[in-house]
Amino acid sequence: MLRKLLMRKPKMAVLFVCSGNICRSPTAQAVLEKRLAELGADKVVAVDSAGLESFHVGEAPDKRSQKHAAERGYDLSRQRARRFERADFERFDLVLAMDEGHLASLRKRCPPELQDRVALLLGDAEVPDPFYGPPAGFERVLDLVEPACARLAADLAARARAR
């Protein structure tokens, strides 16, 4: 699936989606951006994030997300929440949901011909929402997102080099 998507445009684009775009998806965005930069692929892969709801549009990521991410070397401070738009299906080669609820919502909204762009970041598992839980939840998000984004970055970088 990824190979087919990446052959469409000279610059690839990945979008992470969660509920409000203040915890999980901005964390995944920062992690993937850093991994791509480390591999020298940050100029050929654009990364963004969005929320399915408009609760936090224009706000910076949750302070707890920023704190835990910063402790691992990721800067979320310049990001601002935005709401997912239907046009994002056209703009992005991959639209990666954080949980099954997000995936179902995205699939309902997605045109049939673009369904292959939508998937769960973790494949068959979810990134749990840390918003209402203890600080350990933010660490858990990073524990799940880091290896997934490392694999994704390596795949994207290899495909970019092969072009």
Which of 62, 93, 129, 159 is catalytic? The answer is: 129
Q: Assess whether 18 carries a catalytic annotation.
A: yes
To the nearest 10°, the Cα dihedral for 62, 95, 92, 43?
60
- Indicate the number of domains in the chain: 1
Per-residue pLDDT tens for 44-98?
999 999 999 999 999 999 999 999 999 999 999 999 999 999 999 999 999 999 9
Which of 18, 48, 88, 117 is catalytic? The answer is: 18
Task: Specify the CATH number for the domain of residue 51.
Answer: 3.40.50.2300
Q: Assess whether 48 carries a catalytic annotation.
A: no
With a cut of 90, say whether residue 5 has pLDDT above it. no
Q: What stretches of the chain show up as alpha helix (H) in DSSP?
A: 2-6, 24-38, 63-71, 88-91, 100-109, 136-162
Which of 23, 24, 62, 82 is catalytic? The answer is: 24
**Which range of residues forms the domain containing residue 40?**
2-162
Q: Assess whether 149 carries a catalytic annotation.
A: no
The answer to whether 140 and 129 are in contact (CB under 8 A) is no
Per-residue pLDDT tens for 20-50?
999 999 999 999 999 999 999 999 999 999 9
